[in-house]
Structure 1
């Protein structure tokens, strides 16, 4: 396998009947590409070396599909790190939903990892005062055995925030039904390389693994989350498709004809 592909920021755009467009994660935004050193931080830009291609931004892709930016009424985030929140200013009227633990980590000074969480939620991504909203505990708080599931407020579609702890204080996957009734689980940064789920023993990527280790808030919790995702993929392959935010090989497979992305 070629391991030299560039990492991606895999977002998910959901068309709904009642909630308009729902965007899961935003990737980098248009302002990030114009002034990356100021918007993203010079150190992070130098390390990550993001592609500065405006056509890859969620805003341009939404417009290319024939929609207006205002059609994106809701944004659901796996977590509040800069490579997942950069597009927030491009959709200033959207309500932004996060798991209550992630919301608490950036709004409550007494929360664990508060300063760490604030440092990674970039000022440029929240300068427009986004409508940041904590999800509410779901009536059935488990999803395939994952506890603490929350449901975004004010949305009619079947979408859940599933805690996948370890990477950030309130990191969560986003589970939604596809058109055929299967579940899609956008697992965010719970893992970064498909080998972590598909190989036995788990196979990490030599470039992505140091990134994961440097960002995590709880290493032990991250390993537990990874192993639970491995079991989910094995035991419920006919019901759930799991994918992560940064794996380009996964994105290529899901974008192939016959898959839903």
Structure 2
């Protein structure tokens, strides 16, 4: 018997519209043109399990960085009938503030994390202001507290979280950045997180400016293509086009991904 497929949802909680293409691509001739960014979490459910992918960040972090959120990450799950306390599993793609800034909101969750990411976020690379900038110390401390509570599962590269849900260490943007591959009714889908902020990163092999290892980032684009059944099932981490390509479900901030895009598009 074939195991059932998973449902996958993109949950938008924030956006930043006062950006240019220079903020999104290292090499771009049209660098002054506007280029908006959305902020997402993702939810995977099936086989009696609910797995949250990343947590967003809260209002305190929003104020500290002057990057307002539209929805509290915990409240954003309400249309699923979930409270933050109901979440028992979180795949943390990496520990940057916008992906792990809400860990404290989900007190009962065990974290799935690459060992390389914890080592990076707590190691000598953080002596450099530029590399430290996307991290917030309190978020890292929360991950360490979860570790000492026995609620972190570490991986070293590719690993299976559940039947039909796997993680794949890509690096590039952050040392232990992992993408999530999910078996869906539309085929194998890849939640790229920040292995590809935008569709254009992959389609044109254009790197994002925040990077610790440029070769890993570029190699990662090919990895995303290899993992997905087709390029249109690569879901970038911050692209507003996700909301154009996939149908709204349950609420205006939620888009269902596992049924596939509503129309084909070039990749």
Answer yes or no: same fold by TM over 0.5.
yes
CA distance in 2 between partners of 1:119 and 1:7 (Å) = 18
Q: Which runs of 5+ in 2 are unaligned?
A: 1-32, 250-255, 260-267
Structure with the bigger percentage of strand: 2
Aligned to 2:95: 80
Shift of residue 174, structure 1, vs aligned partner: 1.1
Structure number with higher helix proportion: 1
1:216 to 2:221 alignment: no
The answer to whether the Cα contact below 8 Å between 1:185 and 1:241 also exists between their aligned partners in 2 is: yes
The structural deviation recorded for 1:119 is: 5.9
Pairing 1:217-236 to 2, within 5 Å after superposition: 217-230=212-225, 236=229
Distance of 1:177 and 1:253 partners within structure 2: 19
Quick one: distance in 2 between partners of 1:24 and 1:183? 16
Q: Is the 8 A contact 2:121 2:140 kept in 1?
A: no
3-state SS in 1 of match to 2:219: helix
Distance of aligned partners of 1:256 and 1:61 in 2 relative to their CA distance in 1, 3 Å threshold: closer
Alignment correspondent of 2:159 = 150
Show the counterpart of 1:14.
44
Counterpart for residue 144 of structure 1 = none
> Measured at CA, do residues 181 and 254 of structure 1 come closer, stay the same or move farther in structure 2, by a change above 3 Å?
closer
Q: CA RMSD in A?
A: 3.1
Secondary structure at the aligned position of 1:105 is classed as: helix
Which string of whole-angstrom CA distances, capped at 9 and with x for unpartnered residues, describes residues 41-98 of structure 1? xxxx25xxx2332x2x321111233222221111101111111111111112211111
Question: Which of 177, 181, 188 is matched with 1:183 structurally?
Answer: 188
Instruction: Give the Cα–Cα distance (whole angstroms) in 2 for the partners of residues 182 and 6 of structure 1.
Output: 29
Q: Does 1:122 align with 2:127?
A: no
Local SS of the residue matching 1:191: coil
- How does the TM-score come out when normalised to structure 1? 0.69
Task: Give 2:198's aligned residue.
Answer: 193
Residues 251 and 99 (structure 1), Cα distance of their counterparts in 2 relative to 1, 3 Å cut: farther
1:82–1:122 contact (8 Å) kept in structure 2 = yes
Q: Which of 222, 228, 235 is matched with 1:243 structurally?
A: 235
Q: How many residues align?
A: 215
Question: How far 1:123 moved relative to its partner?
Answer: 2.4
| Aligned 8 A contact 1:103 1:133 in 2 | no
Determine the structure 2 residue equivalent to 1:51: 68
Are the structure 2 counterparts of residues 222 and 94 from structure 1 closer, same or farther at C-alpha, using a change threshold of 3 Å?
same
Residue 226 of structure 1 aligns to a residue whose secondary structure is: helix
Counterpart of 2:56 in structure 1 is 27
* 2-structure distance, mates of 1:188, 1:103: 17
For 2:169, the equivalent position in structure 1 comes to 163
Q: 1:64 to 1:256 in 2, by over 3 A?
A: closer
Is the CA contact 2:165–2:180 (under 8 Å) kept in the aligned structure 1? yes
> Partner residue of 1:135?
154
Cα distance in 1, alignment partners of residues 205 and 248 from structure 2: 24
TM-score, structure 2 as length reference: 0.68
The alpha-carbon distance between structure 1 residues 93 and 135, as it changes in their structure 2 partners (threshold 3 A), is same
- Is the CA contact (8 Å cut-off) linking 1:164 and 1:225 kept in structure 2? yes
Give the CA deviation at 1:5.
5.8
